Amino acid sequence: MKRPTIADVARRAGVSKGAVSYALNGQRGVSEATRQRILAIAAEIGFSPSSAARALSGATAKAVGLALCRPARILGIEPFFMELISGVEAELSARSYALTLQVVADQDAEIAVYRRWWAERRVDGVFVCDLRTDDRRVPALEELQLPAVVIGGPGHTGSLASVWSDEAAALAETVEYLVALGHRRIARVGGLPALLHTEIRSDAFTEVCGRLGLDESVTVWSDYTGEEGARATRRLLSSPNRPTAVIYDNDVMAIAGLSVAQEMGLQVPGDLSIVAWDDSPLCQLVHPPLTALGRDIPAYGAHAARQLLRVIAGEPTGELQDETAHLTPRGSTAPPRVR
Amino acid sequence: MKRPTIADVARRAGVSKGAVSYALNGQRGVSEATRQRILAIAAEIGFSPSSAARALSGATAKAVGLALCRPARILGIEPFFMELISGVEAELSARSYALTLQVVADQDAEIAVYRRWWAERRVDGVFVCDLRTDDRRVPALEELQLPAVVIGGPGHTGSLASVWSDEAAALAETVEYLVALGHRRIARVGGLPALLHTEIRSDAFTEVCGRLGLDESVTVWSDYTGEEGARATRRLLSSPNRPTAVIYDNDVMAIAGLSVAQEMGLQVPGDLSIVAWDDSPLCQLVHPPLTALGRDIPAYGAHAARQLLRVIAGEPTGELQDETAHLTPRGSTAPPRVR
DNA sequence: CTGAAAGCGCTTACAG
DNA sequence: CTGAAAGCGCTTACAG
């Protein structure tokens, strides 16, 4: 099957190729009647302009890129990324933008991918995930002047646009809720410490525990996997003064923690309350269902996409604050049983 | 920052643009010494050929497409797709191919995306997931002559290449294992019945149950979500002659089923044995850990990618059989307790 | 409102 | 082995 070109449409419509181009791109230069006739013919013969030709003649590539820097086993198990991607995608495809995905091994590889995408003119802009406190990707993108939106923050984004959510506030709300239930010994199983949002949560945890006088609070580090979450939980629950409540930095670790508690003969929530950070459907699959901090991740992705298209269009942008995660109490939290 | 072009490299190297092109593409027409010099200069000034210009001059787009037709909540919760994508991606990026992702609402939208990608010359080929028994995408792709690899089968793939795994054999192995443990009343919670692989599993289940004389076996349908898996489980466990073992078509439903059993006061595996089809890390997070049917999904994706690149290169291909899922017994299966 | 033409940055026969 | 040139299919000033 031969692909139709703009010349085919022009011939059928009895106009020049330029006129077809104007009609398709909504530019002035053709009468409304002609425009409608051209659009009808294009639809009829199944014409879409070659993305290559369009990109080459100075227009945009109509594609944006997302590089993911996590190993397969973690990417797969966390619903976060797939939900984010589906939100990003919904917004992009509504504007006829394609999403190019690449999995990378580390920050250097990711920067190399950005350079290549830029040199190849393959994408008009990129999303940056998993922001670190001292992130080399930010200056690299600034240097390339490749439009970008950082998914994360606040701060540490240089001159790049960003979308972020107030994790410090969400964490404080959670701790205050647990304290209101009567908990005093609260532990937190944190994610990868090199990530900015982990640091933000840690600082907030320290701050709120200090403010409320919870001097037995403790944070242990993990890597978001179930195995590490289970190990961290075993360590916490084996200590002489074990916590009565644990906050986990993702849902997978929380589920692993629940399992460990049950295996050690502890009642949840009687002996131990559990809060999961990401509220995915997984949290409602287990028994008891997990109290969780959640927000609309597909919407977050859609907002990031809208922000990126704005940057690409040269419109003024900045840091966009998204909704703060809210706590949904379920069966895994209760007042601590007196011992 | 100005993007370097092939002319910049040619000028620096003191050769023609043609020579640079030959050198970069590994074609004959330049001496080895010149080729090395050209490659060094290209690397030095950060030159990568414009993907648009390359695609326009008849070469390939160096991109392939994957359209996903599942709602966000299901995409997110199933590790399968993200693992598949990461395997696909690993193979593609090793050959400098980009992956274009699009989420679509239904089969018609998916076919429209294929037509557009084809007309735009945006991709050199596509992956087809979630094959149906009477799939309209197959004839549509044949008509477009767009290179494609179906991830699924066997059969129903028309003239398209495919990769598949023997699900019937895996199911039979599972049922035989449960029977060997002493189970006679075995139920199955199936996925969406419109999908070919669900039908293959169902036919195999009927066949093996007939062969082994399990006349109380039953299949109920679900949609892969935890809620539906839980509902199906409640129905099964409330029946007078409840099954002593249940096979779930995915891990999420199996976990939901485990939770329902526990909530109904049944011991797993004493009162009920549970087998999950996809063996993701989730299966090991719960208590007891789930006996599961698993295989290497990233490798499956990598094989599909290799197959697609082969089709694009015009090499002979066909149906490629991948490894059969194998059963990993864990704590959720045991001989049925005598009642 | 329309047509003719240059140009985007490559690839690839073609002639030397 | 190398150079000059056509051509891929668009977009966009420019002249009418």
Q: Who among A61, A144, A285 is closest to B226 (CB)?
A: A285
Q: What is the mean pLDDT of residues A180-199?
A: 95
Protein CA B141 to sugar C1' C11 (Å):
28
Q: Which position has the token pair 């003239």?
A: B159
Chain B positions touching A79 (Cβ under 8 A) are: 76-77
Q: What is the pLDDT of residues A305-335, one digit of tens each?
A: 999 999 999 898 999 999 999 999 999 999 9
Chain B positions touching A46 (Cβ under 8 A) are: 115, 119
Residue A199 above 70 pLDDT?
yes
**CATH code for the domain in which residue A304 is found:** 3.40.50.2300
Q: How far is A215 from chain B (nearest CA, A)?
A: 31
In 3D, which of B326, B4, B60 has the Cα closest to residue B169? Answer: B326
- Backbone phi, psi, residue A102, to 5°: -145, 135
- Backbone phi, psi, residue B148, to 5°: -150, 150
Residue A86 above 90 pLDDT?
yes
In this structure, are B147 and B178 located in the same domain? no
Residues in contact with A119: Cβ distance below 8 Å, sequence separation at least 6, in sequence order: B3, B4, B46, B47, B48, B50
Which helix (H) or strand (E) segment holds residue B246: the answer is strand B245-248
Residue A338 above 80 pLDDT?
no
Alpha-carbon gap, residue A232 to B1, rounded angstroms: 47
**For all residues of chain B together, what is the average pLDDT?**
93
**Secondary structure (3-state) at B173:** helix
Alpha-carbon gap, residue A197 to A219, rounded angstroms: 15
Q: Tell me the pLDDT band of A30, cut-offs 50, 70 and 90.
A: confident
- In contact, B128 and B160? CB cutoff 8 Å: yes
Inside any domain, residue B333: no
Give the pairing type, strands A148-151 and A273-276: unpaired
- Backbone phi, psi, residue A243, to 5°: -65, 160
Q: Which position has the token pair 């049944």?
A: B266
Inside any domain, residue A331: no
Instruction: Dig out the tokens for A61 from the structure.
Output: 């590539």
Inside any domain, residue B185: yes
Inside any domain, residue B330: no
Task: Identify the pLDDT of residue A65.
Answer: 97
- Backbone phi, psi, residue B235, to 5°: -60, -45
Chain B positions touching A3 (Cβ under 8 A) are: 118-119, 121
Q: Tell me the pLDDT band of B294, cut-offs 50, 70 and 90.
A: very high
Range ranked top by mean pLDDT from A30-44, A81-95, B77-91, B292-306? B292-306
Alpha-carbon gap, residue B242 to B233, rounded angstroms: 10
Q: What is the mean pLDDT of residues B191-220?
A: 95
Going across the sheet that includes B161-164, the strands are: A319-321, A161-164, A148-151, A125-128, A63-68, A98-103, B98-103, B63-68, B125-128, B148-151, B161-164, B319-321
In this structure, are A117 and A152 located in the same domain? yes
In this structure, are A244 and A171 located in the same domain? yes
Strand D neighbours among A 48-77, CB < 7 A: 49-50, 53-54, 56-59
Alpha-carbon gap, residue B293 to B329, rounded angstroms: 9
Amino acid letter for position B187: A
In this structure, are B123 and B142 located in the same domain? yes
In 3D, which of B35, B94, B87 has the Cα closest to residue B62? Answer: B94
Q: What is the mean pLDDT of residues B300-311?
A: 97
In this structure, are A100 and A132 located in the same domain? yes
Chain B positions touching A93 (Cβ under 8 A) are: 102-103
B122 touches strand D (CB under 7 A): no
A27 touches strand C (CB under 7 A): no
Q: What is the pLDDT of residues B24-71, one digit of tens each?
A: 888 887 888 888 999 999 999 889 888 889 888 877 889 999 999 887
Q: From the CB of residue B111, how many other CB atoms can be counted at a distance below 10 Å?
A: 18
When divided into structural domains, chain B yields a total of 3
**DSSP letter, residue B224:** S
In this structure, are B290 and B172 located in the same domain? yes
Q: Who among B53, B76, B116 is closest to A280 (CB)?
A: B76
Protein CA A215 to sugar C1' D11 (Å):
67
DSSP strand E in B191-241: where? 218-221
User: Is residue B2 left, alpha or beta, with left meaning phi > 0 and alpha meaning psi from -120 to 50?
Assistant: beta
Q: Which of A75, A104, A224, A285 to mutate to test the interface with B (most CBs of B within 10 A)?
A: A285
Q: Tell me the pLDDT band of A250, cut-offs 50, 70 and 90.
A: very high
Amino acid letter for position B333: T
- In contact, A20 and A38? CB cutoff 8 Å: yes
B36 touches strand D (CB under 7 A): no
Q: What is the pLDDT of residues B178-190, one digit of tens each?
A: 999 999 999 999 9
Task: Identify the pLDDT of residue B187.
Answer: 98
Alpha-carbon gap, residue B164 to B171, rounded angstroms: 15
Which of A43-52, B263-272, B296-305 has the lowest average pLDDT?
Answer: A43-52
Q: Which position has the token pair 């997110």?
A: B76
In this structure, are B143 and B213 located in the same domain? no
Task: Identify the pLDDT of residue B1.
Answer: 62
Q: Who among B52, B145, B255 is closest to A285 (CB)?
A: B255
In 3D, which of B171, B183, B129 has the Cα closest to residue B152? Answer: B129
Protein CA B29 to sugar C1' C16 (Å):
14
Inside any domain, residue A337: no
Inside any domain, residue A329: no
Alpha-carbon gap, residue B75 to B96, rounded angstroms: 26
Q: What is the mean pLDDT of residues A40-59?
A: 88
**Number of alpha carbons in the 13 Å side-chain half-sphere of residue A288:** 20
Give the pairing type, strands A326-328 and A291-294: antiparallel
Residue A1 above 70 pLDDT?
no
Alpha-carbon gap, residue B239 to B219, rounded angstroms: 13
Alpha-carbon gap, residue A254 to A252, rounded angstroms: 5
**For all residues of chain A together, what is the average pLDDT?**
93
**CATH code for the domain in which residue B35 is found:** 1.10.260.40
In 3D, which of A321, A337, A241, A257 has the Cα closest to residue A292? Answer: A257
Q: What percent of chain A has pLDDT over 70?
A: 99
Domain ranges, residue B87: 63-165+297-321
Q: What is the pLDDT of residues B85-139, one digit of tens each?
A: 999 999 999 998 999 999 999 999 999 999 999 989 999 999 999 999 889 999 9
In this structure, are B91 and B49 located in the same domain? no
Task: Identify the pLDDT of residue A33.
Answer: 87
Instruction: Dig out the tokens for B213 from the structure.
Output: 């004389």
Q: Check A52 against B55: CB less than 8 A apart.
A: yes
In this structure, are A133 and A191 located in the same domain? no
> Nearest residue of B to residue A100 by CA position?
B100
Which nucleotide across the nucleic acid strands is nearest to A16, CA versus C1'? Answer: C3
In this structure, are A140 and A173 located in the same domain? no
Inside any domain, residue B150: yes
In this structure, are B150 and B104 located in the same domain? yes
Of residues A227 and B78, more confidently modeled: A227
Which helix (H) or strand (E) segment holds residue A273: the answer is strand A273-276
Q: Tell me the pLDDT band of B287, cut-offs 50, 70 and 90.
A: confident
Going across the sheet that includes A273-276, the strands are: A218-221, A186-190, A245-248, A273-276, A291-294, A326-328
Inside any domain, residue B326: no
Protein CA A19 to sugar C1' C4 (Å):
12
Instruction: Dig out the tokens for A199 from the structure.
Output: 């640091």
In this structure, are B128 and B179 located in the same domain? no
Task: Identify the pLDDT of residue A79.
Answer: 86
Q: What is the pLDDT of residues B164-176, one digit of tens each?
A: 999 999 999 999 9
For A87, B67, B265, B276, the CA distances from B184, given in Å and listed in that order, are 45, 41, 21, 18
Q: Which residue is nearest to nucleotide D7 (CA to C1')?
A: B57
Residues in contact with B139: Cβ distance below 8 Å, sequence separation at least 6, in sequence order: B158
Task: Identify the pLDDT of residue A77.
Answer: 79
Q: What is the mean pLDDT of residues A193-204?
A: 95
The nucleotides of chain C lying under 7 Å from a protein CB are: 1-5, 7-13
Q: What is the mean pLDDT of residues A204-229?
A: 94
Q: How far is B306 from chain A (nearest CA, A)?
A: 16
Protein CA A3 to sugar C1' C3 (Å):
25
Instruction: Dig out the tokens for A64 from the structure.
Output: 């944006």
Task: Identify the pLDDT of residue A74.
Answer: 75
Q: Which of A60, A75, A103 to mutate to test the interface with B (most CBs of B within 10 A)?
A: A103
Task: Identify the pLDDT of residue A339.
Answer: 58
